[in-house]
């Protein structure tokens, strides 16, 4: 994989930084959800942490021949609060990516004809839309003092597509088969 | 936990960003070491990835009451190469933290009398010294076309202290007991 233009290259690094920090805070907030006795919300955080790792790895792969040290600037949400508060932080982060960050990065990648970057940004953007909605459902439950109603969570290891209860026969974002989904 | 001064606060967020990205690239390079048939180097990368997660979580905890979105600037190493090249990237990153970043951040945290940040920076600094040396040993082996000679790797979940073959009775950095070490 490769990238030719420095603007797209910078956006890939920034996205990698954002996804890496999202991965870490979701693991932290997963443990806090377990402590609050809402283990399904904990599992949702862990599953989505894995989806962010998939996104980070996709961006990292597009940059594979840029072997060097860089200074990365990226957005991140901080704070350890109640699970309702942590979910609000998660929703804010996902909505920023859905409404601002990835659409702008995708626009530039298209303009610069960066095929690999477009694919990587597109996978992330589509998955983050679902993440925002799932975190909202989890927060609605947590606000009522309840856990999220679900049997399991499934994540596509190619694009980060995330779905409750049962994986689809074919990933709606990247076309991967049901068998490759990782379950939580 | 808490932090009072914005300079130390910024350094904690930057360190969190750096540790989060180090965690992710070590997991990637672990898989690549496995593919190159040097599984002990893969295990070392995975163990140290966990140590960086410990550091990230420590910094995140000191910032626990700073519930907000921030722009984070942090150093990171990129590239997917041979295991010898990936280990050079790892060594460069660790040495930057050991020789420049954490000593400077620690100096300011001491100057600003930020006790929690000092503890978090100190734990990371001491662990990174060991990481740099372990990655150098792994690279010496890889350069000879060999795997790292070791039975197991053990990581302190409090400070990230990392040691081959057997955990000490008491962590030399933070004093934690042998029983809490996580093994890889
Ligand atoms: Fe993501
Ligand atoms: Fe997401
Ligand atoms: Fe997919
Ligand atoms: Fe570290
Ligand atoms: Fe390290
Ligand atoms: Fe320790």
Asked if the Cβ–Cβ distance from A72 to B74 is below 8 Å, we say: yes
Q: pLDDT above 70 covers what percent of chain B? A: 100
pLDDT in tens, A112-123: 999 999 999 999
CB proximity B57 to A under 8 Å = yes
pLDDT at residue A109 in the model: 98
Q: What average pLDDT does range B119-142 have in this prediction?
A: 98
Is the predicted pLDDT of residue A111 greater than 80, yes or no?
Answer: yes
Distance of residue A166 Cα from the nearest chain B Cα, in angstroms: 28
Residue reference for tokens 């809402």:
A38
> What value does the mean pLDDT of chain A take?
98
Asked if the Cβ–Cβ distance from A60 to B80 is below 8 Å, we say: yes
pLDDT in tens, B90-106: 999 999 999 999 999 99
pLDDT in tens, B65-93: 999 999 999 999 999 999 999 999 999 99
pLDDT in tens, A24-49: 999 999 999 999 999 999 999 999 99
Asked if the Cβ–Cβ distance from A64 to B75 is below 8 Å, we say: no
pLDDT in tens, B1-38: 799 999 999 999 999 999 999 999 999 999 999 999 99
pLDDT at residue B17 in the model: 98
Select the CATH number that applies to the domain covering B6-149 from these four: 3.40.1160.10, 1.20.1260.10, 1.10.3720.10, 3.30.1360.170.
1.20.1260.10
pLDDT in tens, A71-83: 999 999 999 999 9
Contacts of A27 in chain B (CB under 8 A): 53
First to last CA, chain B: 30
Q: How far apart are CA A56 and CA A43, in angstroms?
A: 20
Q: What average pLDDT does range A96-110 have in this prediction?
A: 98
Is the predicted pLDDT of residue B126 greater than 90, yes or no?
Answer: yes
pLDDT at residue B147 in the model: 98
Residue of A nearest to B16 (CA): A21
Structure tokens, A150 = 């679900």
Is the predicted pLDDT of residue B117 greater than 80, yes or no?
Answer: yes
> What value does the mean pLDDT of chain B take?
98
Helix (H, G, I), strand (E, B) or coil at B64: coil
pLDDT in tens, B154-171: 999 999 999 999 999 999
CATH of segment(s) A6-67+76-147: 1.20.1260.10
Cβ atoms of residues A63 and A13 within 8 Å: yes
Contacts of B1 in chain A (CB under 8 A): none
Is the predicted pLDDT of residue A103 greater than 80, yes or no?
Answer: yes
CB proximity A102 to B under 8 Å = no
Q: How far apart are CA A108 and CA A119, in angstroms?
A: 13
pLDDT at residue B152 in the model: 98
Cβ atoms of residues B10 and B17 within 8 Å: no
Q: What average pLDDT does range A61-66 have in this prediction?
A: 97
Is the predicted pLDDT of residue B127 greater than 80, yes or no?
Answer: yes
Q: How far apart are CA B131 and CA B138, in angstroms?
A: 10
pLDDT at residue A3 in the model: 96
Domain parsing of chain A, residue ranges = 6-67+76-147
pLDDT at residue B184 in the model: 98
pLDDT at residue B1 in the model: 72
Cβ atoms of residues B153 and B162 within 8 Å: yes
Asked if the Cβ–Cβ distance from B20 to A23 is below 8 Å, we say: yes
pLDDT at residue B63 in the model: 98
Asked if the Cβ–Cβ distance from B13 to A78 is below 8 Å, we say: yes
- On whether ipTM exceeds 0.95, the answer is yes
Q: How far apart are CA A134 and CA A114, in angstroms?
A: 30
Shortest-distance ligand to the CA of residue A161: 3
CB proximity B61 to A under 8 Å = yes
């Amino acid at each position: 994989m490769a990238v030719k233009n420095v603007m797209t290259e910078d956006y890939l690094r920034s996205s990698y930084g954002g996804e890496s920090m999202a991965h870490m805070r979701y693991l932290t907030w997963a443990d806090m959800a377990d402590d609050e006795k809402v283990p399904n919300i904990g599992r949702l955080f862990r599953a989505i942490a894995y989806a962010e790792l998939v996104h980070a790895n996709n961006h990292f792969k597009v940059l594979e021949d840029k072997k060097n040290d860089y200074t990365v600037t990226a957005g991140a949400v901080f704070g350890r609060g109640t699970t309702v508060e942590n979910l609000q932080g998660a929703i804010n982060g996902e909505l920023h990516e859905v409404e601002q960050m990835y659409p702008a990065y995708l626009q530039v990648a298209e303009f610069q004809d960066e095929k690999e970057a477009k694919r990587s940004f597109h996978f992330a953007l589509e998955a983050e839309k679902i993440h925002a909605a799932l975190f909202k459902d989890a927060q609605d439950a947590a606000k009522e003092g309840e856990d999220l109603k679900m049997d399991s969570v499934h994540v596509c290891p190619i694009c980060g597509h995330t779905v409750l209860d049962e994986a689809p026969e074919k990933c709606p974002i990247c076309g991967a088969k049901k068998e490759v989904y990782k379950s939580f």
